Amino acid sequence: MNLKISALDYVQEVQNGNISAEDFTAATLERIHSVDEKLHAFLSVNDDAINQAREIDKKIKSGDKVGACFGMPISIKDNMCIKNSKTTCASKMLENFVAPYDATVISKLKEQDAIFIGKANMDEFAMGLTTEFSAYGPSKNPWNVDCTPGGSSGGSAVSVSAFECVASLGSDTGGSVRNPASFCSAVGYKPTYGLISRYGLISYANSIEQIGPVTRTVKDTAFLLNMITGLDPNDNTTVDNKNEDYLSGIDSGVEGKKIGIIKEMMAEGTDPAVISATKDAVSKLEGLGAICEEVSLDMVKYSVAAYYTITATEAGSNLARYDNLRYGYDFSLEGYEFNSYIQKARKNFGPEVTRRMIIGGFVPSAGHAGKYFLKALKVKNKLTKEINEAFKKYDLLIAPTVPILPFKLGEKIDDPVALFLVDINTVTANLTGKPAISVPFAVSNGLPIGIQLLADSMNDKMLLQAAHALEQTVKLPEVPI
């Protein structure tokens, strides 16, 4: 069984009767059992997957209507609710939390006969970019198991690049889909804010985050978007995309498109291999008829500070509900009064979450909001204005997804500010609500490099067309696992 096929190829193969959903699912589970001990992409695996695949095969055989996924195994980051399944956010705090409802993306994929093969590892509550802050241990990069796969949707990216599933859903608050996609040589997508419903996605920083696919190809991302985007009455922040078909016209190319190269995202400290890959990508796009020139977004310098101020504030509030009273883990109330119980119970948060909660209490507090939180909101506003100006001139913007190559596990975990700076190229899309994609583009010394493209809000379709064009210009080596 070839597990390396794309989502669209999988659908084709099943439709042609060359493979069955059951066989493919069984092979996928076998793959997980053989490699995941090493990679740790999954926090839990769906025991019922084979039965579900069998049911779908029955539907196919009997000629019943079958959803567009035809039993395709998909992994889901463990911060999205699947009814009656454990959803832990990779936290000890939610060790025993079983979601009583489906996230909107889950309902939509269920309707399309997707199979949720397992819940993917992540940094606890999505706070991190290496998966090292998972309470259940880090994931490993399949390109080099000593390296981080990136994060926070590390499990999603690993599971896709190591063929433990066909596609995955992650979430992207400041690069959490694009960063691990770049580190693992997968396609990672952060849609326009509001394009995909967040209902059932456990909030970290709700005003800027989005669910996004991790796939093998840009076309697969478009295929998934066709199923999961659109207005949702359960999420007041969703926008109407008029049932856009992201796959149609994906071959349109970039001829005549104006592309701005973001100067501040190739600044000092960027790895030379990353710079040269980006330059190469620019010349490839020029070769396809795009017009590229440098553009400056002055506020990018302040974006990471603004990003962490805003996310810590929202996280401090979003995570307040974890007081272990209504759900959580086993910890008796006996002998405690309210405050002492909650403080004790919340010791189950890991160190990074704890740190960010303290920051989240500090930066918006009465005496400090003016210096930190309000300024951060204003930087967000000014950055948005700057990028809107840029999009008046350019159709797309380009930059490396991450300024550095995948680094060793443990290398930066003790230096929070060093970790901050790894986010410098990805947070802009979140702070401004713009769509952005990371396309696998190069491999340097056996480590992947992704190129990031950005477009204006609701120009997701054009962004995918450009990303597809860029993707077609390179042939990358296969993951060495």
Partner 1 sequence: MTKIGLEIHCQLTNLESKLFCSCKANYRQFEINENICPVCMGLPGSLPRLNQDAVKKATMIAMALNCSTPDKIAFFRKNYFYPDLPKNFQITQLNIYGDTSVGGPGSIMVGDKEIRITRIQLEEDPGRLIYEGSSSKNQITLVDYNRAGTPLVEIVTEPDFENPKQVREFLNILSDLLENLGVSDPSLEGAMRADANVSIEGGKKVEIKNIGSFHDLEKAVHFEITRQESLHSREIEIAQETRHWDDKRKITISSRSKEEALDYRYFLEGDIPWVTIDPAIQEKLKSEMPESISSKKERYVSKYSIPNQVADVLSSDKFYSDLFEDSHTESNAKEIANIITTDLMGLVDTREKREASKITAIHLRDLADAIQTGKISRNSAKNALHEIVKTGKDLSQVMSDLDLGNVSDESELLTVIKDVISEEPQAVEQAKSNPQTINYLVGKVMQKTKGKADPKLTLDLLKKQIE
Partner 2 sequence: MVTEEEIEKVAKLMKIEVEDHKEYVDKVHAMIDYFDILDSAGVDDEEISMPEIPITALREDKHIPFDEKLIEKLNHYKGTYVRAPKMS
467: closest CA among 309, 144, 247?
247
Binding span for partner 2 by CB under 8 A among 256-264, 272-280, 353-361, 389-397: 353-361
Pick one of partner 1, partner 2, none as the site partner of residue 4 (Cβ within 5 to 8 A by kind): none
Q: Looking at beta carbons, which pairs linking 283-287 to residues 24 or more positions away fall under 8 Å? A: 284/470, 284/473, 284/474, 285/254, 285/259, 285/398, 285/466, 285/469, 285/470, 285/473, 287/473
Quote the tokens at residue 162.
Answer: 């190591």
Quote the tokens at residue 120.
Answer: 């993917």
Pick one of partner 2, partner 1, none as the site partner of residue 235 (Cβ within 5 to 8 A by kind): partner 1
Pick one of partner 1, partner 2, none as the site partner of residue 358 (Cβ within 5 to 8 A by kind): partner 2
Pick one of partner 2, partner 1, none as the site partner of residue 172 (Cβ within 5 to 8 A by kind): none
How far is 132 from 40, CA to CA, in rounded Å?
11
Query: Does the annotation mark 161 as catalytic?
Result: no
Is residue 269 a contact point for partner 2 (CB under 8 A)?
A: no
If you ran DSSP here, which 8-state letter would residue 99 be given?
Answer: -
How far is 134 from 150, CA to CA, in rounded Å?
12
How far is 350 from 353, CA to CA, in rounded Å?
6
405: exposed, middle or buried (C-beta count within 10 Å: 0-12, 13-18, 19+)?
Answer: buried
Min dist CB 338 to partner 2, Å, is: 5
Task: Map the footprint of partner 2 across residues 432-451, applying CB under 8 A.
Answer: 433
Question: Out of 236, 242, 268, 392, which residue is the one contacting partner 2 (CB under 8 A)?
Answer: 236
Min dist CB 197 to partner 2, Å, is: 14
Q: How many positions of this chain bind partner 1 (CB under 8 A)? A: 45
Q: Between residues 23 and 323, which has the closer beta carbon with respect to partner 1? A: 323
If you ran DSSP here, which 8-state letter would residue 96 be given?
Answer: T
Task: Map the footprint of partner 1 across residues 229-268, applying CB under 8 A.
Answer: 233-237
Q: Which residues contact 222 (CB under 8 A, 6 or more apart)?
A: 246, 247, 250, 464, 468
Is residue 211 a contact point for partner 1 (CB under 8 A)?
A: no
Query: Does the annotation mark 156 as catalytic?
Result: no
Q: Between residues 155 and 406, which has the closer beta carbon with respect to partner 1? A: 155
Mapped onto helix, strand or coil, the DSSP state of residue 140 is: coil
Which of the following is catalytic: 85, 107, 134, 152? 152
How far is 458 from 240, CA to CA, in rounded Å?
9
Query: Does the annotation mark 44 as catalytic?
Result: no
Is residue 200 a contact point for partner 2 (CB under 8 A)?
A: no
How far is 233 from 270, CA to CA, in rounded Å?
43
Question: 76 φ, ψ to 5°?
Answer: -125, 125
Which of the following is catalytic: 75, 134, 176, 457? 176
Q: Between residues 252 and 384, which has the closer beta carbon with respect to partner 2? A: 384
Task: Map the footprint of partner 2 across residues 377-416, applying CB under 8 A.
Answer: 377-379, 381-382, 384, 416
Pick one of partner 2, partner 1, none as the site partner of residue 420 (Cβ within 5 to 8 A by kind): partner 2
Q: Kind and range of the H or E element at 437? A: strand 436-444
Pick one of partner 2, partner 1, none as the site partner of residue 162 (Cβ within 5 to 8 A by kind): none
425: closest CA among 313, 288, 270?
270
Catalytic residues: 77, 152, 176
- Could you list the residues that contact partner 2 (CB under 8 A)? 98, 100, 193-194, 233, 236-237, 299, 301-302, 305-306, 308-309, 316, 320, 323-328, 333, 336-344, 346-347, 349, 351, 354-355, 357-363, 365, 371-372, 374-379, 381-382, 384, 416-417, 420, 433
